Structure 1
């Protein structure tokens, strides 16, 4: 099995024993993202709409690092 760890400075750094994303067997598994601004390391203190946009921007940055886009997403779960 081929495994590649994905990391970008354009998304919040992983805190703890996990990676931003792992590519395995042709699939990319991205860790949960919260509305943290990667430039400041702080949670965006704003409306739910702004926080959602930041979380999605974090996901987009990780996808881009893996040469993917949201068009490549097969499944997601949002809480």
Structure 2
């Protein structure tokens, strides 16, 4: 059974984004490995408090992730 763990900063994702992400991850597995697996795909979304993620020695904040998610791909 496929088991997917997605970890992010607490507060970075809305409930709607979490639902959409879990559906998209399930879809990625089933489109790659077969539809029969759909009912057996587990997705866990872990949220860790701010201050537990660092990139290049700098703390990653939920506000920074939200801003990045709202930035059009052409500007990244």
Using structure 1 for the length normalisation, give the TM-score.
0.36
User: Which one has a larger percent helix, Structure 1 or Structure 2?
Assistant: 2
Using structure 2 for the length normalisation, give the TM-score.
0.37
Larger RCO: Structure 1 or Structure 2 (Cα < 8 Å, ≥ 6 residues apart)?
Answer: 2
**Higher-Rg member (1/2):** 2
